[in-house]
């Protein structure tokens, strides 16, 4: 599992080759920081997401946040129950709280992301 500075995670199923399917979610740290979630906007299956660009929104009582794609690809599955059960994000951020699955177009983008240790270091330093 790799992490973006913007707190999304991505996990590739199998080998990271072009066309491999990867799951995207947000980190436990980010979910805890948000609190009071009320709304989530997700992309359509078949749409394209671009690394570093917004693919959806998550909104709390207080504020709207963009969700950024860690890697580019085509959306192949959307966790459609999630907007009606936002508690899943906090209960199981790396499992049942997954957000979308994409078909990777450029697996080399994974190289610029952080591993768990590097991400943990970033959040412990409070850089976000």
Partner 1 sequence: MSTNEPTGNAGVDAQQNPPATAADELQVTPLHRWHADHGGRLVPFAGWEMPVQYTSIVGEHQATRNNCGLFDVSHMGRLSVCGPGSRSWLDRMLTRGVADLAPGGVRYTLITDNAGGGVRVLDDALVVCESEEQFGLVVNASNRERVVDWLVSQLPAEGVELEDQTRQTAMIAVQGPAAVATVTSLCSTEDAQRILSLKNYRSCRASVAGHAAAVSRTGYTGEDGVELVVSAEGAVPVWEAILAANDAACACGLGARDTLRLEAGMPLYGHELVEATNPFAIGLGRGVTLEGRTFPGRDALAALKASPPSRVRVGLVLEGKRPAREGCLVHAEDGHACGVVTSGSFSPSLGVPVAMAMVDADQAEPGTQLEVDIRGSLQPATVSPLPFPGWRKS
User: Residues in the site for partner 1, rule: CB under 8 A?
Assistant: 6-8, 26, 30, 35-36, 38-39, 41, 57-68, 83
Both structure tokens of 119: 């991400």
Query: Is 121 or 128 the residue whose CB approaches partner 1 more closely?
Result: 128
Q: How many Cα atoms within 13 Å fall on the side-chain side of residue 119?
A: 20
Query: Is 67 or 75 the residue whose CB approaches partner 1 more closely?
Result: 67
Report the nearest approach of partner 1 to the CB of residue 96 (Å): 18
Report the nearest approach of partner 1 to the CB of residue 65 (Å): 4
Both structure tokens of 43: 């992309």
The closest of 71, 78, 76 to 105, measured between CA atoms, is: 71
């Amino acid at each position: 599992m790799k992490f973006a500075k913007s707190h999304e995670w991505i996990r590739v199923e199998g080998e990271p080759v072009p066309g491999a399917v990867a799951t995207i979610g947000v980190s436990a740290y980010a979910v805890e920081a948000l609190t009071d979630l009320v709304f989530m906007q997700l992309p359509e299956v078949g749409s394209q997401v671009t690394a570093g660009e917004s693919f959806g929104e998550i909104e709390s009582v207080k504020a709207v946040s963009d969700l950024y794609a860690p890697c580019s690809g085509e959306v192949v599955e959307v966790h459609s129950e999630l907007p009606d059960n936002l508690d899943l994000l906090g209960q199981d951020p790396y499992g049942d709280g997954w957000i979308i699955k994409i078909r990777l177009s450029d697996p080399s983008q994974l190289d610029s992301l952080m591993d768990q240790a590097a991400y943990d270091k970033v959040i412990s330093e409070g850089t976000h």
